[in-house]
């Protein structure tokens, strides 16, 4: 255990046993992934990923989302994963505390493009398989996140390998090694270090996805790994068997969330709270005396008042809340580097004080709550508390919401008719008989 549950699940999962709800969620996850990838073109890290991809070598058969350029499967996986994660507007799951889609979809997409007969149904099944295994591994690995906090590149690589193995129809010892090699080769993905520095490494997403692809490739050639996954039981604080006992029966992809804002999920509740205050009361920004944000302890570490990079801005609650007040929204363009020098936003951010409070701490990580108090110079106070936001599984984004997000994130890169054709293909993904019908549209 857990391989005794994981291996038969991967081998036996198939499209026909997936419910319409799960199929729809997989397609929504794909559209959200593409929206996130197009938004990533506003980050410097994506430019650098492009420039560095040549050393990943290999035959140039795989697409980079948004360009005509084709590269090796390793390079495509690295660049597409970086694109989808660098603006921090990609999907997530609260229990493993991270992002599955940016890790799982890029290698599966590359494998599907390399195959001559991969269908839309194959793609959907591989995505679901990757989410189910990866999320459960993340739940285990981050069960002690107060002491050891793995980023998505550390846990979702098991989902990357599982989805890729499913796409390749691997079985037996090859399948086993495809997963276990990542146990040793995978990055620790210590995202706390990236948060503190505001660095482009973020959660080791790009390299984690490539590591998974490499592990699968090695396994196909006979390379071996350990005899199980999640073997560091002393580091975890949960019942591993219980976490995996519902695999194939209860689908965790149902519990993923989609983001409205390009920011760490911990910032979304305070952003939502101030936007609600603005809509209901429209306080004069010049008359604000102080803004107090009460939240859980980990969120109070996102306290960079004047971020210097897009990545740092994504992890700066004061900057993001001030941006929401100033623009009445938080969109990808608002945290691009040309917007970081706005003195009006900086002056608002300086008025923000973040406080950890016990009632909010008790809610984390099942929720990411915040209570915002805007104190005015005339002594009036506006208060709003938010525990769940639109996009959370309890209040999911609709198809229309996700299509609007896709248009917002991709409008500067492809024309409207082209975008609509992509949306149509994804909504009808199960009808595609060759995955290149979709990948040809992503150039």
Does the reported pTM lie above 0.85? yes
pLDDT at 189: 79
What CATH number corresponds to the domain at position 286? 3.30.1330.120
For residues 50 and 67, membership in a common domain is answered with yes
Q: Is 392 inside any structural domain?
A: no
For residues 191 and 58, membership in a common domain is answered with yes
Mean pLDDT in order along the chain per 10 residues (443 residues): 93 98 98 97 91 81 92 95 96 95 98 94 98 98 89 97 98 98 91 74 93 98 97 93 96 98 96 98 97 96 91 94 97 88 94 97 91 98 96 96 97 94 98 95 90
For residues 189 and 287, membership in a common domain is answered with no
For residues 186 and 330, membership in a common domain is answered with no
Q: Which domain holds residue 374?
A: 265-386
pLDDT at 286: 96
- C-alpha distances (whole Å) from 421 to each of 119, 142, 154, 425 are 18, 39, 35, 6
Tokens representing 219 are 């396994």
pLDDT at 1: 67
Q: Is 391 inside any structural domain?
A: no
What CATH number corresponds to the domain at position 66? 1.10.4100.10
Q: What would the pLDDT profile of 163-177 be if each residue is shown by its tens digit?
A: 999 999 999 999 999
For residues 269 and 382, membership in a common domain is answered with yes
Q: Is 56 inside any structural domain?
A: yes
For residues 433 and 328, membership in a common domain is answered with no
For residues 407 and 375, membership in a common domain is answered with no
Check if the beta carbon of residue 186 is closer than 8 Å to that of residue 204: no
pLDDT at 191: 73
Q: How many structural domains does the chain have? A: 2
For residues 254 and 270, membership in a common domain is answered with no
Residues 430 and 124: their CA atoms lie apart, in Å, by: 8
Q: Is 298 inside any structural domain?
A: yes
DSSP 373-437: EEEETTS-EEEEEESS-BTBTTSPPPHHHHHHHHHHHHTTTS-HHHHHHHHHHHHTGGG-SSTHH
For residues 401 and 421, membership in a common domain is answered with yes
Tokens representing 49 are 């990923």
């Amino acid at each position: 255990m857990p391989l005794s549950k994981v291996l038969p699940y991967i081998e036996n999962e198939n499209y026909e046993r997936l419910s319409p709800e799960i199929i729809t969620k997989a397609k929504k996850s794909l559209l959200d992934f593409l929206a996130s990838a197009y938004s990533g073109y506003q980050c410097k890290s994506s430019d650098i990923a492009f420039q560095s991809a040549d050393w990943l070598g290999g035959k140039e058969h795989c697409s980079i989302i948004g360009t005509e350029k084709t590269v090796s499967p390793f390079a495509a996986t690295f660049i597409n994963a970086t694109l989808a994660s660098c603006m921090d507007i990609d999907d997530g799951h609260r229990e493993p505390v991270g992002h599955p889609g940016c890790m799982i979809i890029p290698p599966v997409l590359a494998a599907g493009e390399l195959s001559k007969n991969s269908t839309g149904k194959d793609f959907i099944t591989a995505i679901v398989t990757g989410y189910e295994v990866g999320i459960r591994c993340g739940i285990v690995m981050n069960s002690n996140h107060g002491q050891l906090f793995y980023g998505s590149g550390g846990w979702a690589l098991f989902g990357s390998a599982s989805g890729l193995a499913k796409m390749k129809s691997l079985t037996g010892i090859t399948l086993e090694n495809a997963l276990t090699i990542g146990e040793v080769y995978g990055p620790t993905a210590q995202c706390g270090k990236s948060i503190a520095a505001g660095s482009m490494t973020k959660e080791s997403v790009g390299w984690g996805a490539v590591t998974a692809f490499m592990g699968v490739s090695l396994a196909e050639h006979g390379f071996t790994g350990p005899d199980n996954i999640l073997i560091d039981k002393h580091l975890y604080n949960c019942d591993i068997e219980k976490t995996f006992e519902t695999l194939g029966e209860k689908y965790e992809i149902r519990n993923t969330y989609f983001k409205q804002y390009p920011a760490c999920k911990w910032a979304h509740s305070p952003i939502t709270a101030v936007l609600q205050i603005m809509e209901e009361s429209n306080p004069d920004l010049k008359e604000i005396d102080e803004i107090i944000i009460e939240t859980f302890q980990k969120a109070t570490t996102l306290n960079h008042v004047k971020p210097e990079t897009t990545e740092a801005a994504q992890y700066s609650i004061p900057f993001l809340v001030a941006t929401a007040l100033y623009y009445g929204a938080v969109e990808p363009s608002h945290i691009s580097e040309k917007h970081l020098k706005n003195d009006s936003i900086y002056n608002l951010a300086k008025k923000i004080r973040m406080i950890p409070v016990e009632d909010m701490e008790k809610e984390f990580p099942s929720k990411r709550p915040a209570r915002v108090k805007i104190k005015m110079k005339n002594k009036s106070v506006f208060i709003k508390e938010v525990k769940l936001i639109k996009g959370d599984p309890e209040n999911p984004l609709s198809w229309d919401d996700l299509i609007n997000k896709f248009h917002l994130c991709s409008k500067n890169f492809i024309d409207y008719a082209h975008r609509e054709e992509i949306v149509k293909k994804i909504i009808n993904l199960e009808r595609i008989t060759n995955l290149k019908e979709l990948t040809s549209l992503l150039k």
